[in-house]
Amino acid sequence: MRIGIPRALLYYNYYPLWYSFFKELGHQVVISSTTSKAVLDSGVTSCVDDACLPIKLFHGHVANLIGKVDAIFIPRLVSIYPDEYICPKFIGLPEMIKSSIKGLPHLIVLNCNAHRNLKDVHRGYMELGKMIGARYSQAARALQKAMANQHDYDLLLKEGQTPIDILNDDKPIEEVEAKGVIGLIGHPYLLYDEFISMRLIAKLRARGYAVLVPENIAQSQIEEVCAQLPKKLFWSYGKKLLGSGLAMLKGKKVDGIIFLSSFGCGIDAFIVELLQRYNHRLYRIPSALITVDEHSGEAGFNTRLEAFIDMIEWRNRREGYISAYGTSVFGH
């Protein structure tokens, strides 16, 4: 059977796991096309108006697979860690797709809910295997192999590569050659979709900068810095963005930090505000917020990026400069 995987949302986190699982069970995997204006427009017209850009884009990638596959894989991710949740729109994704897009082939839905116990995730994959005709033992072996491949993928990310480097087989700039390091904070479906991010990572590397992304930060570091917060964060991906951003700032791993956010994302608004407050109070590292939606244009995006790089380079050239009046910009 040909099973389609939309190249959107958490594809950039879990593609090795999903691909290997289906492949080990003898199925052919088809990935939707890379994001283009046509794919995005298709998603915008088929999705409800008040959905965020990533959800609209997912609709476009599902539509892109129609006629190419026998079934489309739709993950219903409720929770990926005990006592934590992710965005509610991920929970209702299969129903949104069914009600919005006509002419769909069979949908294969993975129910992933680790809120009570991580073992429940294993059960979800066993049910998924049964859904596509596999015996329990076959699904168990396939999941074991898939988890090994996912582990290898995660190790490469922790070594400093990005999902773009691995999935596209690109080679990042060597850090010894870089002018500096720019930290990028954003959800994987924004940072690594080169149409939506307008090739942000490639543009920074072309200017001679290495990049540090949330996937490069160890989970242990994220847990350590988040444990110092006054209240537990129960949004898993919000916690990942805040924790990785704080780890970058606290460890002085970056010369500047860019927040890439989707317009209308409530979790992003909360996380970015917290990161900016911690940065302004404690670290004072140059930062910029770039918000994107389906109407964003590349000219304005490039202008913001160029201004940010110019600010960093100006600061580096004038490090230690004291105003003629004897007061720094942060003086009281």
pLDDT digits (tens, 9 = 90+) for 8-39: 999 999 999 999 999 999 999 999 999 999 99
pTM above 0.75, yes or no: yes
In this prediction, residues 191-215 reach a mean pLDDT of: 94
Count of alpha carbons within 13 Å of 13, Cβ hemisphere only?
15
Give exposure, 258-285, as e/b (b: 16+ Cβ within 10 Å). Answer: bbbbbeebebbeebbebbeebbeeeeeb
Distance of CA 139 to the CA centre of its chain: 27
**What does residue 27 show for φ and ψ, rounded to 5 degrees?**
-100, 155
Q: Which residue has the higher pLDDT, 175 or 13?
A: 13
Q: Over 90: is that where the pLDDT of 73 sits?
A: yes
H-only helix segments in 25-92: 37-46, 53-65, 88-91
Kindly report the CATH number that applies to the domain delimited by 163-317. 3.40.50.11890
Residue 245 has pLDDT above 60, yes or no: yes
Note the pLDDT tens digit of each residue in 130-154: 999 999 999 999 999 999 999 999 9
* pLDDT at residue 321, rounded to an integer: 52
Mean pLDDT of 155-175: 79
Q: Is the pLDDT of residue 255 over 50?
A: yes
**pLDDT value, residue 332:** 47
On average, the pLDDT of the chain sits at 88
* Integer angstrom CA distances of residue 6 from 107, 114, 233: 12, 23, 29
Q: Would you list the DSSP string of 187-235? A: -HHHHS-TTTTTTHHHHHHHTTEEEE-GGGS-HHHHHHHHTTSSS---B
Q: Please give the single-letter amino acid code of residue 295.
A: H
Residue written as tokens 């994107």?
292
The string of DSSP letters for 253-306 reads: --SEEEEEEETT-HHHHHHHHHHHHHIIIII---EEEEEE-TT--HHHHHHHHH
Q: Which residue has the higher pLDDT, 84 or 1?
A: 1
Residue 232, pLDDT > 90, answer no
Name the DSSP letter for residue 332: -
pLDDT higher than 60, residue 328: no
Pick 13 or 233 by higher pLDDT. 13
Residue 243 pLDDT class (50, 70, 90 cuts): very high
Judge whether residue 330 has pLDDT over 60: no
How many CB atoms neighbour CB 228 within 10 A? Answer: 8
Mean pLDDT of 323-331: 50
Domain ranges of the chain: 2-158, 163-317
Spatial separation of the C-alpha atoms in residues 25 and 19, rounded to whole Å = 10
- For residue 155, the model assigns a pLDDT of 94
Q: Under CATH, what is the fold of the domain 2-158?
A: Rossmann fold (3.40.50)
Share above pLDDT 70 across residues of the chain, in percent, rounded to a whole number? 93
Name the nearest CA neighbour of 204 among 126, 74, 302, 73: 302
Mean pLDDT, to the nearest integer, of 230-252? 88
Q: Do domains 2-158 and 163-317 have the same CATH topology?
A: yes
| Mean pLDDT of the 279-302 span | 89
Residue 211 has pLDDT above 70, yes or no: yes
The whole-number pLDDT of residue 297 equals 85
Asked if the model's pLDDT at residue 326 lies above 80, the reply is: no
* Confidence check: pLDDT of 80 > 50: yes
Q: Is 32 helix (H, G, I), strand (E, B) or coil?
A: coil
- Residue 320, pLDDT above cutoff 70: no
User: Is residue 114 predicted with pLDDT exceeding 80?
Assistant: no
